Amino acid sequence: MSARVSRTIVFGLLARIAAGSLTVIEGGASTRFGSGPPAATVQVHSERVWPLLLRGSRGLASAYELGLWDSPDLVALVRLAARNAASLDRARAKIEPLLGPPRALAGIWARSTKARRRAEIAAHYDLGNELFERMLDPTLSYSSAVFEHPRATLQEAQVSKLELICQKLDLSPGEHLLEIGTGWGALAIHAARTRGVRVTTTTISREQHAYATAQVERAGLQDRVTVLMRDYTDLTGSFDKLASIEMIEAVGWRRLGTYFDRCSRLLRRGGAMLLQAIVIDDRAYRVERASRSFINTRIFPGGCLPSVEAISSSLARRTDLQIVDLEDITAHYVMTLQCWRRNFESRWPELERLGYDERFRRLWTLYLAYCEAGFAERRICDVQLLLAKPGWRDHGRDRDRVAGLRVAPARALSGSSA
């Protein structure tokens, strides 16, 4: 399709903006769509952008990566898009019954094998520890932090999150904790050091496995922490507690039942599991679960956000686990992503010297802004769920301390831009 025709179609779609306003600047001329806040601006550098924009978020990202357009505020732009997504959601929901069979057939050819899962994880988490050391905090926690107050540093907030997880699980000396999704070892080390528990933690990222193993040795915790490089489907044994922090997004919607069945079988009677998960609205889940977006093709290949309803249904069908607590920490992810984006931008000269190129910078800048806007507009959310086996009892030993770490209201945490 020609650039002129594509531009006409895109302008027709932009004319339907119902909330907020967008100014498009092209060749010295500007066109405004909609009115009022949130307001965003796009500077078009090449007519090649228009056909790409008709490919959805993947085309938008590719065009930005290539430098075909810019915006002075990417977060505002994505928030504007999120505010106007409801009509698109309704249209996509109407055609979902028609798309279901082709997607099911495509799923046969895209089965989630162990080799495929390792390759998909490597595509993101094995990009180099140098990248994550500069973007994250010193604990290398790559999940939402919990800010006890707006002035808390990112590291303080990540330690608060680790502490909250340990308290919700009511970890006690001598217990055996299983962690599915090691990351760079922060939770395993924190739990072993502060609670005196044994920890078995597993990852399928080679970079993370090597880093976490070295960190455990550096902390002198080899006798209490075992770092495996093993797929969750290969895990065996019996554990008192289980934690899985923002790993479920890599499981895929077709394997949610398998994942929870395995978790349940690994837990002893009376055990509990803490699941921190990025979730999508229940009403958008059926449409989004098999879509090919910018995030699940370019950033987290093969990823899929579950919904709370999908999690609950999988638990009921495949396990004896019950949801005994759910806490929404979405407002904290906005602040976490702001910190990551600032770190990424300020440390970019170092990353450039390490070999990361301009296209990578633009793609990851968009990724971080895209996610921040998604959480700020609650298109996506982050929750902590405590799941319990039969026989589990809330002894309340840490209830007061957990209450002290309860998530502050969103208004108190969102003063900067959320």
Active site residues: 371
| Listed residue (179, 278, 300) closest to 230, CA to CA | 179
Cβ-based neighbours of 97, under 8 Å, separated by 6 or more: none
| Listed residue (405, 407, 401) closest to 171, CA to CA | 401
Cβ-based neighbours of 316, under 8 Å, separated by 6 or more: none
- Token readout for 242 is 């289980």
Indicate the SS3 state at residue 148.
coil
Which contacts qualify for 17-26: CB closer than 8 Å, 24 or more apart? 17/80, 17/84, 18/84, 18/87, 19/80, 19/83, 19/84, 20/79, 20/80, 20/83, 20/84, 21/80, 22/77, 22/80
Give the span between the Cα atoms of 159 and 136, in whole angstroms: 13
Indicate the SS3 state at residue 21.
strand
Residue 226, phi then psi, degrees to nearest 5: -115, 120
Quickly count: other Cβ atoms within 10 Å of residue 360's Cβ.
Answer: 16
Contact predicate 65/256, CB 8 Å: no
